[in-house]
Amino acid sequence: MPLLQIEGLCTSFFTDEGEIPAVDHIDFHINNGEILGVVGESGCGKSVTSLSIMGLVPSPPGKIKSGSILFQGEELVDASEQQMRSIRGDEIAMIFQEPMTSLNPLFKIGNQLIEAIRTHRNWKHKKCKLRAIEMLKLVGLPRAESLMNAYPHELSGGMRQRVMIAMAMLCDPKLLIADEPTTALDVTIQKQILQLMKKLNKTMETSIMLITHDLGVVAEVCDRVVVMYAGKIVEQTDCVTLFQNPKHPYTKGLLASVPNIRSKTDRLYSIPGNVPKPGSIQQGCRFAPRCELAMDQCFTETPPIYETEEKPHEVRCFLYDKEGEPRHETTVT
């Protein structure tokens, strides 16, 4: 049984302009001990997916409309707030993009770490403190004891992100959701943080869901990848296959538009048009208006997920109609 199994998840925002489906019928799973990458451009629903898992979708206006999120066999969609509180930070932890805004500037690092443990563990203060220091050492921070008395503003961006990771790892979570953890950091610091996450994944067997827009980061750390576009999963496979044999025209376009530091091309491929606003495309494949290979069918019907046989490789595109059998019929929304 996978650690996390998501089926048919739909999360919408109900605004004055009507319903905006941010996440629309997505299915994926995370196995024990694996690093799953979720890639996509802004507005594709990757962050809303993670907030849905954590039960943190701002409501109103947001709401999980349908679908199921099974974590270790337990349904999270209709779990009570109390249940979610005991899972959040304990079994599933999350780190965010901007480490400065996720730490309270008024409290010392030590207080914030100890508070996180005491929420979930009925430990004595001294034990909590030792655990906090142990985690700060684990994430590679020097002078862990004195850092406990430091305020967040005294640390640099990379150190703050390490503190966030230490805080997330305090209760040995089974799943760590990292939402763009390195986007605000410089490349040399990004490299250090990615290495740290890989190390934690190996040594503590924590599964990681890594949300990012950077394909280079995906290639470096992920085992499997989910590509999202405008609220839908368009392609899902293991990391090597995705980069060597991408199937969906969007994935292909995305890979071709990244400038490579290894070689110089005269002209970059660019996907024409703009990323659609969530909810602006009602009918057909959401990528069809920007797709060079779009057929008439693409504008009227939503393509189902096709599975190719040789390796688990799912792609939501009519071009693969003959290659594999559709897994299930088109979900009409």
Partner 1 sequence: MKQPLLEVQHLKKYFPIYGGILKRQTGEVKAVDDVTFSVYKGETLGLVGESGCGKSTTGRVLLQLIEQTDGEILFENTSITSISKKEMKQRRKEMQLIFQDPYASLNPRHTVEKILEEPLIVHGVQNKAQRKKMVQDMLTVVGLDSYHAKRYPHQFSGGQRQRIGIARALMTHPKLIIADEPVSALDVSIQAQVLNLLKDLQKSFDLTYIFIAHDLGVVRHISDRVGVMYLGRLVELAPSTTLYEEPLHPYTQSLLASVPIPDPTIPAQDENILSGEMPSPSNPPQGCAFHTRCPSCMDICTSSRPTYQEVKPDHYVACHLYNEREAHA
- Comparing CB distances to partner 1, the nearer of 64 and 193 is 193
**Residue matched to tokens 């693969």:** 320
The reply on whether position 208 binds partner 1 by CB under 8 A is: no
> Are the C-beta atoms of 9 and 49 separated by less than 8 Å?
yes
- Comparing CB distances to partner 1, the nearer of 67 and 246 is 246
The reply on whether position 42 binds partner 1 by CB under 8 A is: yes
Q: In 3-state terms, what secondary structure has residue 225?
A: strand
The reply on whether position 203 binds partner 1 by CB under 8 A is: no
Phi-psi region of 127 (alpha: psi -120 to 50; beta: other; left: phi over 0): alpha
Neighbours of 138 (CB within 10 A): 18
The reply on whether position 270 binds partner 1 by CB under 8 A is: yes
> Residues touching partner 1: how many (CB under 8 A)?
46
The reply on whether position 89 binds partner 1 by CB under 8 A is: no
Segment lying near partner 1 (by CB under 8 A), choices 107-115, 127-135, 208-216, 319-327: 208-216
The conformation of residue 326, written as its DSSP 8-state character, comes to: B
**Which tokens sit at 29?**
């799973």
* Binding residue for partner 1, selected from 54, 132, 138, 215, defined by CB under 8 A: 215
Segment lying near partner 1 (by CB under 8 A), choices 1-9, 81-89, 124-132, 272-280: 272-280
> Are the C-beta atoms of 22 and 11 separated by less than 8 Å?
yes
| Shortest spacing between CB 212 and partner 1, in angstroms | 10
* Binding residue for partner 1, selected from 19, 186, 205, 323, defined by CB under 8 A: 186
The reply on whether position 15 binds partner 1 by CB under 8 A is: no
**Which tokens sit at 279?**
């909810």
Q: In 3-state terms, what secondary structure has residue 7?
A: strand
Smallest Cα–Cα separation from 230: which of 126, 175, 303? 303
Segment lying near partner 1 (by CB under 8 A), choices 93-101, 105-113, 173-181, 215-223: 215-223
Smallest Cα–Cα separation from 103: which of 154, 142, 52, 146? 154
Rg (CA), the chain: 21
Site mask for partner 1 (CB under 8 A), range 274-313, x = bound: xx--------------------------------------
* Binding residue for partner 1, selected from 69, 218, 233, 315, defined by CB under 8 A: 218
- Comparing CB distances to partner 1, the nearer of 150 and 255 is 255
**Which tokens sit at 286?**
């959401």
* Binding residue for partner 1, selected from 126, 262, 322, 328, defined by CB under 8 A: 262
b (16+ CB within 10 A) / e for 22-58:
bbbbbbbbbeeebbbbbbbeebbbbbbbbbbbbbebe
* Binding residue for partner 1, selected from 2, 8, 216, 304, defined by CB under 8 A: 216
The reply on whether position 153 binds partner 1 by CB under 8 A is: no
Segment lying near partner 1 (by CB under 8 A), choices 108-116, 124-132, 259-267, 299-307: 259-267
DSSP-H helix ranges across 72-169: 81-87, 99-102, 109-120, 125-138, 144-147, 157-169
| Footprint of partner 1 (CB under 8 A) | 41-42, 156, 158-159, 186-192, 194-195, 213-220, 222, 239-240, 243-244, 253-255, 257-262, 264-265, 267-272, 274-275
